[in-house]
Amino acid sequence: MRVLVTGPAGFLGNEIVQQLLERGDEVVGVSRGDYPRLESRIDYRRGDLSNAEFSRQAIRDVDVVVHTAAVAGVWGPDEMFHRINTLATENVIKSCRDNGIRNLVFTSSPSVTFAGDDQCDTNESVGYPERFLCAYPRTKAAAEQAVLKAHRLGELNTCALRPHLIWGEDDPHLLARVIERAKSGKLKIVGDGKNLIDTVHVINAAGAHLDAIDALNQQPELAGGRAYFIAQDEPVNCWHWIQSICEVAGVPGPTKRVSFPTAYAAGAMLETIYRVLGRQQEPPMTRFVAAQLAKHHYFDISSAKQRLGYHVRISMAEGLQRLRDAWAAR
């Protein structure tokens, strides 16, 4: 197949590209940045997908689009999140229609259903919250809804994947952040330390996208028009897992504690102060981060298994061993 991947240089996007190439697919990449090593391996088109004309010119001559490009984070201008996450996705949808592309896989996030409460074995029947704790999940939810609404069987088959807490040995985001805060002594256990969470190794998250590509191509009536939670299928204690990551990295794990109400209140106060002062840097605590660190959030992924054929490629133990081996070699 000829597959177009947006955000091909990102942590997840790069792994999707690698798996596609390994199985013999032809890959087209679209990104705003300049990545010479990537450009030597794929057909590369550089530009901003929030520009409708560029999107229409770039997204063409392929069998399927995998739209992973986004801006993540819990702080920043609302306009930036809207432009990159929502507007660009709307342009991708229109470009698929205009250019006769029949399949679109969208990388969403479980945070589109998160309002700060526990999520225990939650499945896709859960709705979108009335109120979001930051701009990222709000703009990703709007994008996801646009993708699912665009599904027209046989014309444009769409689905959305919600991988949760993607990690791996080359992770520049989640693990890097945990280790940096642990080193500085700023990482504290929020809540009672008993909350269970889902994560997903990047190999599994990328594999889910290949499963979705194949499912839309082969059984669009079964796979299309839906969102899917994607995870390891091994919920873990959040703080035990963080402790394991710290041990592999050779840094002390968190020992100090703060209650969830205290952390949440501090996040609300800091958000207000930073917003009033016009500060661009992220506050040391936000309501979203406090809730993510203290609450249960693990998911029922049976729909992805049944409708997409999703399966876990490597286990949590295997992922941690890969992490240990890779970091020891550095």
Interval 231-240: pLDDT, tens:
999 999 999 9
- For the CA atoms of the chain, what is the radius of gyration? 19
Residues 29-50 have a mean pLDDT of 89
Q: Write out the E strands in 56-188.
A: 64-67, 103-107, 119-122, 157-163, 166-167
239, 180 contact by CB (below 8 A): no
Residues across the chain: 330
Question: What's the rounded Cα separation, in Å, for the pair 234 and 165?
Answer: 13
Residue 230 in 3-state DSSP?
strand
Burial degree of 294 (CB within 10 A; 0-12, 13-18, 19+): buried
Known catalytic residues are 136
- Percentage of the chain modeled with pLDDT above 90: 78
- Percentage of the chain modeled with pLDDT above 70: 100
For residue 130, count other CB atoms closer than 10 A to its CB.
6
Q: Where are the domains of the chain?
A: 2-167+198-231+298-314
199, 232 contact by CB (below 8 A): yes
Burial degree of 78 (CB within 10 A; 0-12, 13-18, 19+): exposed
Nearest to 290 by CA among 315, 269, 313: 269
Question: What's the rounded Cα separation, in Å, for the pair 186 and 181?
Answer: 5
What pTM does this model have? 0.94
165-183 confidence digits (pLDDT tens): 999 998 888 888 889 888 8
CATH 3.30.43.10 holds for 2-167+198-231+298-314: no
Q: Write out the E strands in 138-205.
A: 157-163, 166-167, 189-190, 196-197, 200-201
Average pLDDT, the chain: 93
Report the pLDDT value the prediction gives residue 280, as an integer from 0 to 100: 82
- Conformation bin of residue 324: beta by default, left when phi > 0, alpha when psi is -120 to 50: alpha
Helix (H) or strand (E) holding 179: helix 174-184
